[in-house]
Amino acid sequence: MNVAIQIQDLTKDFGTLKAVDGLTVDIQQGGIVGLLGPNGAGKSTTIRMLLGLIRPTSGTATVLGESIEHPGKYMEHVGALIETPAFYPKLSGETNLRTLAALDGQSNARIDEVLEIVKLGSRRGDRVSEYSLGMKQRLGIAASLLRDPDILILDEPMNGLDPAGIVEIRTLLRDLAQQGKTILVSSHLLSEVQAVADQVVIIDKGRLIFEGDLASLLEEAAHEVVIAPEDLDDIATLAGALEQAGYSATIDGGELHVAGAVDAPAKLNRLAFDNNIVLAELRVRDEDLEAVFLRLTNREMGL
């Protein structure tokens, strides 16, 4: 499979702030890739560098084999929605698209097509200032589709969309991916891209944290057995017995968290029994993808 986007040691400093810090990642052609990271992780800066809007401080990147130093050589194959959609507020949605279509050499027929794709045809004549955030988001996606791009880069495309809108956009992205297009979707929420992404790239503080498919990400999940003695006075004894048996256990309130023992709940139960301890609780706990994402990016999650 060919590489659509190749990023090599890419760095961007804004004064003393290192927005992107030696990022290296390859994105293959075709399919949907989720670019994930908390707010301020460097997603938008990375995207802007790929689009030629920002110059990297150091490092290199190529899009469709062309260096990002020369965006004019590849941008005709790239469509993009960058952060909050920006349009001329006093012009209609259709006229806004006309300005971009004119700049891009696209016909008015293409405007009709993309407006229908994002289901904005009935409001095409309304001023953008009268649009909701979700409608502006749809218009932004329509603008990104004007040139029927090979690579579609969407920065937080689900922002402001209602649940039905999110489902529609996911369906649209899947359809486009099936046409062989490469789609890079950034988000600070794993759940937004989990349903559509074939691969995820997670960055934090400008650095690569994880790169791979969702199944690989799930392998990063922590697994543990949570046990709780009926009598809280037994918890220290139980912890000691677990350590003697070679388990790693931590006390959390009235519970013991035994790492990596998901295949041994029966053994733990027997161990407790052998020490004359009755368990009030014994359960296996797996981290879900969201928890893995938050742990990798050093964010707390209320469980």
Partner 1 sequence: MIRSFTSEWIRFQKTARTGILAMVGLVVMIGLMLFIGADSMGPGGGGHGGPLGGAADLTAADGAMAALSTAINLIGIVSIALFALSVARDFEWGTIRNLLVSQPRRATLLSGKLLAVSSYVIIGVVVAGVVAGLLAVVLAPGQDISTESWTVAASLGTLGTTAIAALLFGLVGAVLAMLTRSAAISITAGIAYLLVIENLLGLFWDSAGEWLPAGIFSALAGGGTDVVSLEKAIVLSVSYAILGLIVMYAVFMRRDVTD
Judge contact between 94 and 101, C-beta under 8 A.
no
Q: Binder to partner 1 among 4, 61, 78, 277 (CB under 8 A)?
A: 78
Interaction of residue 206 with partner 1, rule CB under 8 A: no
For 181, the 3-state DSSP assignment is: coil
**Quick one: which of 38, 42, 52, 59 contacts partner 1 (CB under 8 A)?**
52
Two structure tokens written together for 35: 């670019």
Task: Tell whether residue 59 is a contact of partner 1 (CB under 8 A).
Answer: no
Q: How far apart are CA 173 and CA 144, in angstroms?
A: 12
Question: Which residue stretch of 50-58, 160-168, 244-252, 263-271 sits at the interface with partner 1 (rule: CB under 8 A)?
Answer: 50-58
Q: Report the residue number, 43 or 147, with the smaller CB distance to partner 1.
A: 147
The site that binds partner 1 (CB under 8 A) totals a number of residues, namely 35
Q: Cβ 111 to partner 1, closest distance in Å? A: 12
Backbone angles phi, psi at 256, to 5 degrees: -115, 130
Please answer whether residues 10 and 49 qualify as being in contact, where contact means their C-beta atoms are separated by less than 8 angstroms: yes
CA atoms within 13 A on the CB side of 6: 9
Q: Counting contacts by CB under 8 A, is residue 86 touching partner 1?
A: yes
Give 221-279 as a 3 state SS string: CCEEEEEEECCHHHHHHHHHHHHHCCCCEEEECCEEEEECCCCCHHHHHHHHHHCCCCE
- Could you tell me which stretch among 68-76, 109-117, 130-138, 165-173 binds partner 1 (CB under 8 A)? 68-76
Q: How far is the CB of 51 from partner 1 (least distance, A)?
A: 6
Question: What's the min distance (Å) between Cβ of 56 and partner 1?
Answer: 10
Selected from 80, 241, 272, 292, the binder of partner 1 by CB under 8 A is 80
CB 249 within 8 A of CB 257: yes
Within residues 135-194, the interface with partner 1 by CB under 8 A covers 143-144, 146-147
Which of 30, 71, 121, 134: binder of partner 1 (CB under 8 A)?
Answer: 71
Stretch (H or E) spanning 155: strand 151-155
CB 191 within 8 A of CB 161: no
Among 98, 174, 207, 295, binds partner 1 (CB under 8 A): 98
**Are the beta carbons of 280 and 208 closer than 8 angstroms?**
no
Give min distance, CB of 199 to partner 1, in A.
23
CA quadruple 70, 73, 78, 80: dihedral positive or negative?
Answer: positive
Distance CA 202, CA 212 (A): 9
Tokens 């794993």 belong to residue: 190
- Cβ 284 to partner 1 shortest distance, Å: 47
- Pick the piece of the chain touching partner 1 (CB under 8 A) from 48-56, 227-235, 251-259, 286-294: 48-56
CB of 76 vs partner 1, minimal distance in Å: 9
CB of 182 to partner 1, least distance (A): 16
Contact positions vs partner 1 (CB under 8 A): 14, 48, 51-55, 71-72, 75, 78-80, 82-84, 86-91, 95-96, 98-100, 102-105, 143-144, 146-147
